[in-house]
Structure 1
Amino acid sequence: MIASIITIGDELLIGQVVDTNSAWMARELNDNGIWLKRRVAVGDNKDDIVRTLAEESREAHIILITGGLGPTADDITKPVLCEFFGGKMVVNEAALANVKNILAKLTNRPVLERNLKQAEVPDVCTVINNKRGTAPGMWFEKDGKIFVSMPGVPHEMQGMMTDDVIPRLKRHFEMPFIRHRTLMVAGIGESYVAEHIQSWENQLPANIKLAYLPNYGMVRLRLTGIDDDELIINNALDTQFTQLKELVKEWLVTDKDQNMQQVVAEMLNKAGKTLGTAESCTGGYIAHILTAAPGASSYFKGSIVSYSNAIKQGLLGVEEQTLNQHGAVSEETVTQMAKAALSQLNTDYCVAVSGIMGPDGGSSEKPVGTVWVAAAGRNSILTQKFHFRFNRARNIDLTANFSLNLLRQLLLQEPD
């Protein structure tokens, strides 16, 4: 089963709004055995929308459309679809009641005519109830193809997809089974991984594909299998995944679809240990990504953001002599930061970082991108120097990821 996604809106074309809808829908389609062939963005232009609808329906069985269902003049998707499918606009009573109900809860102002017009839909569509907003979705069928139009507001679209669209598609079409298995490696680049496993990859069956997903110094390897028989594809995928794990065991971080913070969180929770951070150049970012996941309070206790040398000295007790002799970006400084934070935060482990994120501040001895990291426990400590060569935001991301990987290595060395 082949699908295409069309996102509508000038704001998407000029980069004013990032299209997160397509990525979310792509994952949902993939998880449900629907192959996404293409993603297309078009502006608020009738001719462009009509042409794109015609082009995508030539190859796809399912065309998902988002955007252009709002109450303003630039929201032209509904009348364009009405003309494309040969219907006329009518008021849908259920949609009208939904609009009035939602607006009554949100504001004391009078309901405008343009708000009520959101309940108008082409009479050739099946209305999809919007439980999270005022713009109804629309389901069209033409020449054996399914067209679904949904709001561009992400949480509204996601609600429709989950509650209505995916279940309807599964009733309408027979879907194959798609299964994924993912692992992550560190300490080896994407091209070196590919070289190392080339012979194995070349013998993969036609219905199992390998994807390389490098990100922030790590490489995720994802196996995807597709078959009409669930048992057959599960067994085949398990066999190939076991072989892949054996080939990359030297660099294996996890055999689950996890990021680095999830890996260390699982290790800390399993050991019943706690973690804190002492951050200079990352400004609390490591603490942020750790606490972004629910349940972080079970292992994460806090962070000391010591951006200035005065705070490093005042709160973490970094010695003035250390700063004068070695500088803030040094092994000696992060070692003292980590040890002090262990005591101050009363944790079992601590990660400390200090570096030069850029674009300014570097020197010939310590160029932009130089970072020192310490991962410390009560009885042991690991330190490592890194040289990153990207922009400030990416350098911060890399620092966070590599520092957590250093912590992971320390945890692996610790006795049970």
Structure 2
Amino acid sequence: MKAAIVTIGDEILIGQIVDTNSGFIAKALDKIGVEVYEMLSISDSQEHILDTFSKLQNTVDIVIITGGLGPTKDDVTKKTFCDYFEDELVIDESVLAHVTELIEGYFKRKITQINKDQALVPSKVTVLHNRYGTAPGLWMKKEKTVFVSLPGVPFEMKYLVENEIIPKLVNEYDRPYILHKTILTYGQGESLVAERIEKWEDSLPSFLKLAYLPSFGKLRLRLTARGTDKKMLEEAIADYVDSLDSIIHDIIVGFEEEDTIEVVLGKILSKQNVTLSTAESCTGGKIAEMIASVPGASSYFRGSVVAYATEVKIHVLGVSESLIQEHTVVSAEVAKAMALNVKALLKTDYAIATTGNAGPSKGEASANVGTVYIALATPNEVVVEMFDFGQPREKVIDRAAVKGLEMLLKEISKKEL
């Protein structure tokens, strides 16, 4: 079963907002074996919408559209549906009752005609109840293709996808199984990993596909199986993951589809009942942001000192001024002192510290742009490494943050073996 996802809105095309709806819908469809064939973002033009519908007609089994269902004149999706399906708008009493209750019961104001017009739907449509908003979802079929229209508001869209669309697709359509297993690796680049696993990759059967998903400092390997025999697919993925693990065990840090390095770290830190703090200069709080993004991080993350200026390193972290004068602010010695001092200041078991030159200019230090020292303080020692992350500035910051987490992960993973 193939699907297309269409987002409608000039605000997306001019970069005013970022389309997150398509990614959510794609993941939801993938989990039930529906293959996303195409994603499109188009303008609010009725002509453009009609042209898109026509091109997708009978090319895919289902088209899911988000946006353009609001009460204002620039929202044209419902009218376009009527044109495309040769239909007319009528009042849906159940939608009107819901809108009235929402406006007058929840928002405590008198319902207006614009609000009532939200209950206008094409007469042939199957209405999808939107519990959290006034715009209902619309489900209509023409020839071999189902067209589904959803509000663009993310939390309303998510509710309709999870509670209306996915159950309806599961009940009404036969779908193949699409299974994924993602292997998380850190420390080696895409080309090097590809060389190491070349023979393994060449041995994959036709129903298994491997995708390389690289980003700063990390590489995800996604193994996808498609077919009708779920048990066979699960066994095949398990066997091939085991054989892959035997080849690159040294760089594998996890296997969960959604787990990033900060999630993996959080699980291990929680399991070991240990705590973490950070002292960041060139990364400007990036490491702390990544760690704190994980729900439940407060159980192991105590906090961070963003010592961007030299004065903060001296007066808040307690780094010796003479140490800085002797070795410069971008040095192994200063990184070590930052890690030890924040570890003592916040009373944690582990601490990560960064100091470096992210650019574009050298600033107070003589170190080349891209030079970063990362220190990891453990209960027993302090390890400091120097890296040259090159340019541009964003790359230096992202790679340094990931590398700091990688150093900690390697250290605490030793206790898991």
TM-score (norm 1): 0.95
1:370/1:61 CA distance change after superposition, 3 Å: same
Structure 1: gaps spanning 5 or more residues: none
Contact 2:356 2:370 in 1 (8 A): yes
Matched, 1:318 2:319: yes
Residue 166 of structure 1 is matched in structure 2 by: 166
Q: Is the 8 A contact 2:354 2:375 kept in 1?
A: yes
Which residue identity is paired with 2:147?
A: F
1:249 shift after superposition: 1.4
Is residue 87–residue 124 contact of structure 1 (8 Å, CA) maintained in 2? Answer: yes
Output the CA distance in 2 between the equivalents of 1:233 and 1:409.
Answer: 32
Match of 2:179 in 1: 179
Asked if 1:206 corresponds to 2:206, the answer is: yes
Question: Residue 134 of structure 1 corresponds to which residue in structure 2?
Answer: 134
- Once the two structures are superposed, residues 259-317 of structure 1 have per-residue CA deviations (whole angstroms, 9 ceiling, x without a partner) of 11112212222222111111122232222221211111221112222222122111221
Q: State which drifts further: 119-128 or 13-22.
A: 13-22
The equivalent residue for 2:250 is 250
Alignment of 1:16-415 (within 5 A): 16-104=16-104, 107-257=107-257, 258-361=259-362, 365-413=366-414
Distance in 2, Cα, partners of 1:301 & 1:179:
38
1:140 aligned counterpart, secondary structure: strand
Over 3 Å counting, the alpha-carbon distance change for 1:146 and 1:354 in structure 2 is: same
Q: What letter corresponds to residue 229 of structure 1 in structure 2?
A: D
Q: CA deviation at 1:364?
A: 9.3
Larger deviation: 351-360 or 339-348? Answer: 351-360
User: Structure 1's 175 and 333: CA in aligned 2 closer, same or farther, altered over 3 A?
Assistant: same
Residue identity opposite 2:292 in structure 1: T
**Residues 405 and 63 of structure 1, relative CA distance in 2, 3 Å threshold:** same
Residue by residue, what CA displacement relative to the aligned partner does 1:142-165 show, whole Å, maximum 9, x if unpaired? 213211100111111111000010
Cα distance change, pair 223–86 in 1 and its aligned pair in 2 (3 A): same
Q: Is the 8 A contact 1:362 1:368 kept in 2?
A: no
Residues 343-390 of structure 1: per-residue CA shift (max 9 Å, x gap): 111111111111223333458942332211111112112111222234
Distance in 2 separating the partners of 1:373 and 1:275: 15
Summarize the Cα distance change of 1:415–1:99 in structure 2 as closer, same or farther, 3 Å threshold.
closer
Is the 8 Å Cα contact of residues 5 and 65 (structure 2) preserved in structure 1?
yes
Give CA-to-partner distance per residue, 1:63-112, whole Å, 9 cap, x none.
11111001111100110011101111011111112222222356455433
1:112-145 CA-partner distances (Å, limit 9, x unpaired) = 3222211111001011111111111000012132
CA contact (8 A) 1:382 1:410 kept: no
Q: Structure 1 residues 390 and 55 mapped into 2: Cα distance closer, same or farther (>3 Å)?
A: farther
Distance 1:242 1:250 in 2: 13
8 Å Cα contact 1:282-1:400 kept in structure 2:
yes
Is the deviation greater in 363-372 or in 78-87?
363-372
> 1 CA distance for matches of 2:391 and 2:135?
42
RMSD of aligned alpha carbons: 1.8
Contact conserved, 1:281 with 1:356, CA < 8 A, in 2?
Answer: yes
AA paired with 1:325? E
CA contact (8 A) 2:280 2:305 kept: yes
Task: Provide closer, same or farther for how the CA distance between residues 414 and 89 of structure 1 changes in structure 2, counting only shifts above 3 A.
Answer: closer
Q: What secondary structure does 2:57 align onto?
A: helix
Distance change (3 Å), C-alpha of 1:355 and 1:103: farther
Call closer, same or farther: CA 1:364–1:298 in 2, change over 3 Å: closer
Mark the CA change 1:85 to 1:234 in structure 2 (over 3 Å): closer, same or farther: same
Does the aligned pair in 1 maintain the 2:357–2:368 contact within 8 Å? yes
Distance 2:122 2:325 in 1: 74
Q: Could you give the per-residue CA deviations for residues 155-189 of structure 1, whole angstroms, max 9, x where no partner exists? A: 11111000010110111111112211111122211
The farther-off stretch of 80-89 and 264-273 is 264-273
Alpha-carbon distance in 1 for matches of 2:383, 2:271: 21
| Separation in structure 1 between the aligned mates of residue 391 and residue 107 of structure 2, nearest angstrom | 47
Letter in 1 for 2:262: Q
Change (3 A) 1:215 1:90: same
Deviates more, 1:81-90 or 1:306-315: 306-315
Instruction: Write the distance in 1 (CA, Å) between the matches of 2:392 and 2:97.
Output: 51
SS of 2:405's partner is: helix
Shift in Å at residue 203 of structure 1? 2.0
| Paired residue secondary structure (1:44) | coil
Shift in Å, 1:212: 0.6
Question: Quick one: percent identity of the two aligned structures?
Answer: 39
* 2-structure distance, mates of 1:341, 1:286: 14
How far is 1:395 from its partner?
2.9
